[in-house]
Amino acid sequence: MERQEVLTMNNLTKSYGNKEVLKGVDLRVYQGEIIGYIGPNGAGKSTTVKLILGIEENYDGDIHLFGENIKNNPIDYKRKIGYVPEIADVYDNLTGYEYLTFVGQLYGLSLEDAAHKSEALMQLFGVGEAYHSRISSYSKGMRQKLLIISSVLHNPDILFLDEPINGLDANSVMIFKEILTQLAAQGKTIFYSSHIMDVVEKISSRIILLHDGKVAADGTFEELQATNTEGTLERIFNQLTGFDRHQEIGEQFVAVVGGGTQ
Ligand X SMILES: Nc1ncnc2c1ncn2[C@@H]1O[C@H](COP(=O)(O)OP(=O)(O)OP(=O)(O)O)[C@@H](O)[C@H]1O
Residue 49 or 135: the one with the smaller Cβ distance to ligand X is 49
Task: Name residues contacting ligand X, limited to 29-48 (CB under 6 A).
Answer: 39, 41-47
Site string for ligand X, 4-33 (x = CB under 6 A): ------------x----x------------
Q: How many CA atoms lie within 13 A of 25 on its CB side?
A: 37
**Distance between CA atoms of residues 123 and 142, nearest Å:** 12
Edge-to-edge strand ranges of the sheet holding 34-38:
81-84, 158-162, 189-193, 34-38, 206-211, 214-219
Task: Name residues contacting ligand X, limited to 149-178 (CB under 6 A).
Answer: none
Residue 125 or 237: the one with the smaller Cβ distance to ligand X is 237
Burial class (CB in 10 A: 0-12, 13-18, 19+), 251: exposed
Distance of closest approach, residue 10 Cβ to ligand X, in angstroms: 19
Distance of closest approach, residue 167 Cβ to ligand X, in angstroms: 16
Site string for ligand X, 43-82 (x = CB under 6 A): xxxxx-----------------------------------
- What is the DSSP code (8-state) at residue 137? G
Instruction: Single out the residue of 115, 31, 36 nearest to residue 67, CA to CA.
Output: 31
Handedness of CA 145, 147, 150, 152 (dihedral sign): negative
Residue 55 or 120: the one with the smaller Cβ distance to ligand X is 55
Number of residues engaging ligand X in binding (CB under 6 A): 10
Q: Which residues bind ligand X (CB under 6 A)?
A: 16, 21, 39, 41-47
